[in-house]
Structure 1
Amino acid sequence: MDKLKKMIVEKGEIREGNILKVDSFLNHQLDAGFLYEMGEEFYRLFKDRGITKILTIEVSGIAVAIMAALIFKVPVVFAKKTQSLNLDKDVYVGKVHSYTKNKEYNIMISKRYLSSDDKLLIIDDFLAEGSAMRGLIGMAGQSGAEVRGIGVVIEKGFQNGGECLRSEGYNIESLAIVDDMKDGKIIFRED
C-alpha cells in the first residue's frame, strides 16, 4: 500500500531497539480516514474468505479492526490484557510478550464471543516476533474457531514472526513490510 509506505517515511520515527514509531497516525493519534482506507484494503484482500468475526488485541489493533469490520459487516472481538470486574469468569486465555514494552501479558476473551462456528480474520497494527498473533491464534484454537487470514498494517520483515507463521500455513497479508531500518532509513520489501 503505497500511501502507507509514504506516511511511514514522512511521519514515522526510528527508535533504538528496532522500534518504528508511527503514533501520529496509527496507534496514538488516529487518522480515521486513512484507517478506513486500510480497512477497505483488508476487505479487498480477504473478502472471499467467509469471515464472520475480526479478532484483535487491545489497544492498537482495535482502530484498524473496527474500520475493517464496518466494511465486512461483522463484529470485532478484542483480547483484553487486564482482568476487570466486568470481564466474564469463563474466558479463553493466552500469553503474549510485548516487544515494545518488554512485558509479558495474559490476554483474555470471554468464551461467549468466540465459537467453533467462527471464521476469523485476525488484524493487528504490527507483526514483529509474532507473540501477539500466537496468543490470538491459540485462543482461536481453544474456541474451535478457524483462522482464515491474518491482516497486518506494518510487518517487520527483518524479525521472524511473519516468516514463521507463513511457514505454518497461515495466510498473512501485510500492508507494508519493513525489511530494514538503518542509518535513519526505512527499507521496504518490494511487492
Structure 2
Amino acid sequence: MDLLKKKILEEGQVYEGNILKVDCFLNHQIDCAFLREVGKEFHRLYKNEDINKILTIESSGIAIGAMVAQEFGCPLVFAKKTKTKNIAGDVYTTPVESFTHGTTYDIIVSKKFLNPGDKVLIVDDFLAIGNALKGLIHLVEQSGATLVGCGTVIEKGYQHGGDDLRAQGIRVESLAIVESMDAKTGEVVFRD
C-alpha cells in the first residue's frame, strides 16, 4: 500500500532495538482518514471470504479493527489483556508474550462473542515475531470458528513472524513489509 509506505517514510521514526515508531498516525494519535483507507484495503483483500467477525487485541488494534469491521459491516471483537468485572461467564484465554512491553498477558475473549459458525479475520497494527497473532489464532481455534486469515498494517519481515505463519498455511496479508531499518540513518527498506 503506497500511501502507508509514504506515511512511514515521512512520519515514522526508527529507534534502536528494532522499533519503528508510527504513533503519530497509527497507534497513539490516530489518523482516521488514513485508517479508513486501511480498512478499505483489508476489505479489498478479503472481500470474497464471507467474514462476519473481526478480531484484534487491545489496545493498538482496536482503531484499526473498527475501520475494518465497518468496511465488512460486521462486529469487531477485541481480546482483553486483563479480566474485568464486566466480563461475565465463560471465556477463551491464552497467554501472549508482548514484544513491545516485554511481559506476558493472558488475553481473554468472552465465549459469547466467538462461535463455531463465525468466519474470522484477525487484524493488528504490527507483526514482528507473531506472538499476538498466534495468541489470537489460538482463541479462534478454541472457539471452533473458522480463521479466514490475518491482516497487519506493518510487518517487520526481518523478524520472520509472518513467514512462520504463512509456512503453517495461514493467509497473512500485510500492507507494508519492512525488510530492514537503520536507527542511525532512519532509513526504512520495504520488501517488494
TM-score strictly above 0.5:
yes
Runs (5+) with no aligned partner, structure 1: none
Query: Corresponding residue for 1:42?
Result: 42
CA distance, structure 2, for counterparts of residue 158 and residue 57 of structure 1:
23
Query: Corresponding residue for 2:140?
Result: 140
CA distance, structure 1, for counterparts of residue 86 and residue 69 of structure 2:
24
Query: Corresponding residue for 1:16?
Result: 16
Q: Which runs of 4+ in 1 moved over 2 A?
A: none
Deviation at 1:87, TM superposition (A): 1.1
CA distance, structure 2, for counterparts of residue 82 and residue 169 of structure 1:
30
Runs (5+) with no aligned partner, structure 2: none
CA distance, structure 2, for counterparts of residue 143 and residue 65 of structure 1:
19
Calculate the TM-score normalised by the size of structure 1: 0.98
Calculate the TM-score normalised by the size of structure 2: 0.97
CA distance, structure 1, for counterparts of residue 11 and residue 4 of structure 2:
10
Q: Is 1:111–2:137 an aligned residue pair? A: no
Q: Deviations over 1:8-31 (max 9, x none)?
A: 011111111101100000000000
Q: What is the count of residue pairs matched by the alignment?
A: 190
1:75-154 paired onto structure 2 within 5 Å: 75-154=75-154
**Root mean square deviation, CA, Å:** 0.7
Identity across matched positions, percent: 55
CA distance, structure 1, for counterparts of residue 89 and residue 58 of structure 2:
19
2:17 partner SS: coil
2:159 partner SS: coil
- The AA in structure 2 aligned to 1:154 is I
Deviation at 1:46, TM superposition (A): 0.2
Query: Corresponding residue for 1:5?
Result: 5
CA distance, structure 2, for counterparts of residue 160 and residue 36 of structure 1:
27
CA distance, structure 2, for counterparts of residue 154 and residue 87 of structure 1:
31
